[in-house]
Amino acid sequence: MNKRMYLLAVVTLCIFFGLRITYNTPSIIAFDEKMSDLLEGNTFIIFFHYIGEPIFVVLVGLVLMIWLWVRERNYRGMFFVLLTFGAGNVVNQLLKKWVERPRPEMLDQLTSYSFPSGHAMTGMLYLLTIAYLLSEVLTDQKKVLLVWVIALVLICLIGLSRIAESRHFASDVLAGWSIGYTWFAICVFWYERRKRIFHSVNLQER
């Protein structure tokens, strides 16, 4: 990742804390209501919540870990997946308990807290992780670009599905995307630093 992407992570962290402070203000409440009116009940968008479900994310993570182990022998990449998928989910749960924002009122609503959206955050993390790792092994830049575009589109649809289902406020989703990207950038910083150290040690040994 280049420096601009890390700078973006600082911006998204600021957005997260800005939403944390302001989600009960009239302007954010009005924004949440407008987004709910716009998306509520949209069956096409609602479908995409399935690819953000925890069980699906876990299965994808296991497949990715097996691929990194069997095909690439990328053990550092395997730990990177644990950081993004696993530790990212823990961060989300801790943030929910810290903020304790109730979900939108509706029948049969989920009992967990609402801020930040878990689907939005973990969707951001697992899809960006897949795109990042694939971009390391793909040689065709058009395919790399396609992978990133697909990842970003799916990230958007997973997050919007939670508004369409009335499971989250729009501000929850924005917060999930924001802190998800920040955590992803932190994990990439670790991954790329370890990779540089590994290559440096190898060169010295030669």
Summary mean pLDDT of the chain: 91
Evaluate whether residue 34 is within a structural domain.
no
Rounded CA separation 198/196 (Å): 5
DSSP category for residue 103: P
DSSP codes, 82-109: IIIIIIHHHHHHHHHHHH-PPPPP-TT-
In a domain, residue 152? The reply is yes
- Specify the pTM: 0.90
User: Over the stretch 52-63, which tens digit does the pLDDT of each residue have?
Assistant: 999 999 999 999
Show the domain range for 69.
3-23+44-197
Higher pLDDT, 127 or 192: 127
pLDDT tens per residue across span 120-176: 999 999 999 999 999 988 888 999 999 999 999 999 999 999 999 999 999 999 999
Is 162 in contact with 92 (CB distance < 8 Å)? Answer: no
Structural domain contains residue 35: no
Are residues 3 and 11 in contact, defined by beta-carbon separation less than 8 angstroms?
A: no
pLDDT of residue 201: 55
Please report where in the chains the tokens 């994310």 appear, as a residue: 57
- Cβ atoms of 188 and 132 within 8 Å: the answer is yes
User: Measured between alpha carbons, how far is 177 from 163 in angstroms, rounded to an integer?
Assistant: 13
Q: For residue 206, what pLDDT is reported?
A: 53
